[in-house]
Structure 1
Amino acid sequence: MPIVSIEPATPDRWDDLERMFGPTGAYGHCWCAFFRRRAKDFTASTSCPPPERGRDNRETLRRLTLDGRIPGLIAYDGTEPCGWVSVAPREEFIRLSRSRALRPVDPDEPGVWSVVCFWLPPRRRKHGLGTRLLDAAIEYARAEGGSVLEGYPVDTAGGRAPSAEVYTGSVRMFQKAGFSCAPHPVSERPVARLRLKDD
């Protein structure tokens, strides 16, 4: 794979992000808003008929980006956007705080960031770009003052799974990056954690 740069999704990069996600907004009109919206609002956006389908999700991501909130990082092959990872302070992801399966055990712990989603166009998959995006997310969260980075990967038991099922990453990928993975105390779903700085 050619050399890839990975950059924050700043307002001037919105057109690149929109072009990469395409008309369906990555995973089924998601626009990487799944963790940023209440369940009923997200579902309403993805279940309405075209051309409105996904419009509110797109607007959520567009507004965040154009407001300079940096909702994630974009990978580039030259000038072509070719990958995405959503990483931000954990409190920005409203779905986590409301989720029985992933609700934080320590909601008041300061400095926790979350990496919640990866998106790679089909021809970019299986070349290690997801790992490079995770490494970049680690460095970005650390540089922005995060003390812990959390992820919510899927345990594929060392095998492969459809991309739409592992959009949060795999346990193996997170472990290779140095994260410790433990089951959530309620749902037993894997939660990956990496300390970004010494106490």
Structure 2
Amino acid sequence: MAIEVRPARSFPDVAAVLGPKRPDANVCWCLSYRLPTSRENRELVGPARGERVRELVGEEPPPGVLAYDGEEVVGWAAVHPRAGTSFARNRKIPLVDDLDVWSLWCIRVRPGHRGEGVAHHLVAGAVEFARAHGAPAVEAYPVDNQGRKVDLTMAYVGTRALFERAGFVKVADTESVLNGFPRVLVRRDLRPGR
């Protein structure tokens, strides 16, 4: 398998990974953290969520990256400047400093492609995408599950081990807990000489 990670500029491909089976279903579409206000997140329901993602895919930078096995889309990672997400005001996940970091908060691998290393490619691709857009660092907020199994519906945040293998280091604890596991703030510094 030769995985290639590309900017998420194809709405049909984003929809293939994030969209619901029924168009009227009210699913996340990876907007819960991407939208800067919880009010906008609450007010967007059903098909309006997909339309909002369609708008974001048309913006520069697009809202994340997609992983492809040949021409088949097999995964997604959300990455964006933290200042343009709800993490900028999140009370449970601290701001470590004033660095204009990017946040990487969601990793999704399509069924049938899990356990093949796609998540590792997505993390690396998201870091390179952020670097190409001038990010001085990328943060993530994975669970510190210490090797224990994470429920698949909550695995989207990734694990501390996944990010550490990609060169991230823990810089802070958080007050956030997911699936019974504490979340930690990990960071990969992209500044030259660091």
Q: Which amino acid aligns with 1:33?
A: L
C-alpha displacement of 1:44: 4.3
Alignment match, 2:50: 58
TM-score normalized by the length of structure 2: 0.84
Alignment match, 1:105: 96
Q: Which has the higher helix share?
A: 1
What residue ranges of structure 2 are gaps of 5+ in the alignment?
Answer: 177-181
Question: What percent identity do the matched residue pairs reach?
Answer: 32
Structure 1 residue runs of 4 or more that deviate by more than 6 Å after TM superposition: none
Residues in 1 aligned to 2:5 and 2:110: alpha-carbon distance in whole angstroms: 15
Structure 1 residues 43 and 103, CA, compared in 2 at 3 Å: closer, same or farther? farther
CA contact (8 A) 2:174 2:185 kept: no
CA contact (8 A) 1:183 1:189 kept: no
Residues in 2 aligned to 1:64 and 1:58: alpha-carbon distance in whole angstroms: 10
Structure 1 residues 67 and 140, CA, compared in 2 at 3 Å: closer, same or farther? closer
Query: What is the number of equivalent residue pairs in this alignment?
Result: 185
Moved more, 153-162 or 176-185: 176-185
Q: Which has the higher strand share?
A: 2
SS at match of 1:167: helix
C-alpha displacement of 1:171: 0.5
Q: Which amino acid aligns with 1:196?
A: L
- Pairing of 1:16-31 with structure 2 (within 5 A): 16-24=13-21, 29-31=27-29
Moved more, 59-68 or 189-198: 59-68
Q: Which amino acid aligns with 2:153?
A: A
Q: Which amino acid aligns with 1:64?
A: L
Structure 1 residues 189 and 16, CA, compared in 2 at 3 Å: closer, same or farther? closer
C-alpha displacement of 1:32: 0.8
Of 115, 126, 134, 2:115 maps to 126
Alignment match, 1:194: 188
Alignment match, 2:63: 71
CA contact (8 A) 1:151 1:192 kept: yes
Q: Which amino acid aligns with 1:30?
A: C
Residues in 1 aligned to 2:96 and 2:48: alpha-carbon distance in whole angstroms: 30
Alignment match, 2:30: 32
CA contact (8 A) 1:149 1:196 kept: yes
C-alpha displacement of 1:141: 1.5
TM-score normalized by the length of structure 1: 0.83
Structure 1 residues 141 and 69, CA, compared in 2 at 3 Å: closer, same or farther? closer
Q: Are positions 1:180 and 2:169 aligned together?
A: yes
C-alpha displacement of 1:137: 1.2
Deviations 1:118-160 (A, max 9, x none): 1111221122110111011112212221111100001111122
Residues in 2 aligned to 1:56 and 1:91: alpha-carbon distance in whole angstroms: 23
C-alpha displacement of 1:163: 2.1
Alignment match, 2:179: none
Residues in 1 aligned to 2:157 and 2:172: alpha-carbon distance in whole angstroms: 15
Q: Are positions 1:80 and 2:72 aligned together?
A: yes
Structure 1 residues 186 and 30, CA, compared in 2 at 3 Å: closer, same or farther? closer
Residues in 2 aligned to 1:150 and 1:18: alpha-carbon distance in whole angstroms: 25
